[in-house]
Amino acid sequence: MSSLADALSASHVDDFRRAARALLRRPIVRASGPGSDDFAAIRRHASELRAWFDRNTGWRLLVDSEVARLVKTAATTTDHTHPARDVRAKQPFGRRRYVLLCLALATLDRADAQITLGRLAEQVVLGAGDPDLVDAGIEFTLRGREERGDLVSVVRFLLDLGVLSRVAGDEDAFVKDTGDVLYDVERRVLGALLATPRGPSTIQADSFEARLAALTGELPPTTEDLRNQRIRHQLTRRLLDEPVLYFDELTEAELTYLTSQRAAITSRIGELTGLVAEIRAEGIAMVDPVDDLTDVRMPESGTEGHATLLLAEYLAGTGNRQVPLPELHAKLREFAAINRTYWRRAAAEPGAEIELTALALSRLAALRLISLTTEAATARPALSRYALAEVTIQERR
């Protein structure tokens, strides 16, 4: 009986952890389609998960018969290294695509149960004609293939989120102006999409910074217990969401709290997710042995992955020096010449090192391994794990 009880307990823990990891990996999980098995686990443990996230992060968990939504609040609004990306090409969204995404969501909020891509495009074009958007330099007329491609990239992003479900048609035909696509609008997902304490339409601030602060602001704590709770939420959010938490980025109150509660916070995260705390003098990284709780992996295969690893190794040996981009471009040209047999042919062409360097540095910045400006890159402490040690040859006895 004891062995059976232990087995059932272990099974419960594994199922609970699986549900938690599914929500952290993808905060919107639907009952149908990909992730339906994870959705069943989330529903089984909804009460426990809701209590854990509320107590430790302040995030809300919404679960009904069709969708589970973890309403996350970002620990910081200054990190621009994890943008929305094109589902196919993986290119980051630019300014126009973000605007089109907002206009598309506004259209879908007023749409019927089904909508065609052509109809969605018409409404987005009308929305883009708003004088405020025109004054801001946004132009979208749907006249060219590039603009059609931008809208299709936004639609595929919404398909991936589950806001839309394709009924018939193909987006490529729309880009070529030879066909249309019909979608179901998933109301439950659309209604749960917004993840801010306040609705954007309730904010009257003028500047972008003031609007963002009002959109994400939380009520200030009024007691010592509430202040400690706010700090615990902030620290746990960062440890769950960010690759590395550096101590020198914390306030004095946060660092004092973390110093006394570090073991408790990291053990709770470990029990929930299976992440392992790697604690160094400079900070904490929650390492994932399964390697699926990240949108940026390193190392990776392929030309870009190898180039990123080689640049990481080079930067790890530069200490705290700001390394100018031209120096990194030159270094990557050397790497391309040495590895021309293994890298794709275009990587050795003149000028290719600029794009490859930009891709590699953006990945390293997203992993918080470097600090990056428009002119230089600087290694951060966590990058030292990619440094090569000097070779030591021991004599055979």
Average pLDDT value for the chain: 90
Phi-psi region of 33 (alpha: psi -120 to 50; beta: other; left: phi over 0): left
Is pLDDT at 4 greater than 50 in this prediction?
A: no
d(CA 370, CA 319): 11
Q: What is the pLDDT of residues 318-327, one digit of tens each?
A: 988 999 999 9
For the chain, report the end-to-end CA distance as a whole number of angstroms. 55
Mean pLDDT value of segment 269-277: 95
Put the strands of the sheet holding 376-379 in their side by side order: 323-324, 376-379, 370-372
Is pLDDT at 290 greater than 80 in this prediction?
A: yes
Mean pLDDT value of segment 109-113: 94
pLDDT for the residue 389: 61
- Confidence tier at 79 by pLDDT (50, 70, 90): confident
Is pLDDT at 1 greater than 60 in this prediction?
A: no
Q: What is the pLDDT of residues 134-150, one digit of tens each?
A: 998 999 998 889 999 99
Put the strands of the sheet holding 283-287 in their side by side order: 245-246, 283-287, 276-279
Domains assigned to the chain: 2-71 (no CATH), 95-191 (1.10.10), 224-287 (1.10.10), 302-386 (1.10.10)
pLDDT for the residue 228: 95
Q: What is the pLDDT of residues 293-306, one digit of tens each?
A: 888 888 888 999 99
Residues sharing a CB contact under 8 Å with residue 218, sequence separation 6 or more, in sequence order: 58, 73, 197, 230
Is pLDDT at 368 greater than 90 in this prediction?
A: yes
Model confidence, pTM: 0.88
Mean pLDDT value of segment 96-100: 95
Tokens of 386: 């990619």
pLDDT for the residue 172: 93
pLDDT for the residue 297: 83
User: Can you tell me whether residue 250 is helix, strand or coil?
Assistant: coil
Whether the ω angle into residue 289 lies within 30 degrees of 0, i.e. cis, is no
